[in-house]
Amino acid sequence: DAKTTQPTSMDCAEGRAANLPCNHSTISGNEYVYWYRQIHSQGPQYIIHGLKNNETNEMASLIITEDRKSSTLILPHATLRDTAVYYCIVRVGDNYGQNFVFGPGTRLSVLP
Amino acid sequence: DSGVTQTPKHLITATGQRVTLRCSPRSGDLSVYWYQQSLDQGLQFLIQYYNGEERAKGNILERFSAQQFPDLHSELNLSSLELGDSALYFCASQGPGNTIYFGEGSWLTVV
If interface means Cβ-Cβ distance under 8 Å, which residues of chain B face chain A?
Answer: 2, 4, 30-31, 33, 35, 37, 42-43, 45, 48, 50, 55-56, 58, 88, 90, 92, 94, 98-105
- Helix residue spans in B5-105 (DSSP H): none
Provide Rg for chain A, Cα atoms: 13
Look at residue A95 in the predicted model and tell me its pLDDT: 60
For residue B9, which residues of chain A lie inside 8 Å, CB to CB? none
Residue A31 CA to residue A52 CA, distance in Å, equals 9
- Give residue-wise pLDDT tens across range A20-50: 999 999 888 888 899 999 998 899 999 999 9
Give the count of Cβ contacts less than 8 A between chain A and B.
61
Are A82 and A58 within 8 A, CB to CB? no
Subunit contact B4:A49, Cβ cutoff 8 A: no
For residue B102, which residues of chain A lie inside 8 Å, CB to CB? 43-45
Q: What is the β-pairing status of strands B106-110 and B10-13? A: parallel
Pick from A112, A36, A39, A32: nearest CA to A80: A112
Are A32 and A90 within 8 A, CB to CB? yes
What residue in A sits closest to B41 (Cα-Cα)? A104
Subunit contact A100:B2, Cβ cutoff 8 A: no
Q: Is the pLDDT of residue B96 over 80?
A: no
What residue in A sits closest to B43 (Cα-Cα)? A102
Res. A3 pLDDT band, cuts 50 70 90: confident
Q: Is the pLDDT of residue B87 over 60?
A: yes
Residue B36 CA to residue B102 CA, distance in Å, equals 12
Subunit contact A103:B42, Cβ cutoff 8 A: yes
Are A100 and A2 within 8 A, CB to CB? no
Backbone angles phi, psi at A2, to 5 degrees: -65, 150
- Mean of pLDDT over chain B: 94
- Mean pLDDT lowest among A34-38, B5-9, B97-101, B107-111: B97-101
**Which residues fall within 8 angstroms of residue B108, CB to CB, at 6 or more apart?**
B11, B13, B19, B21, B78, B85, B86, B87, B88, B89
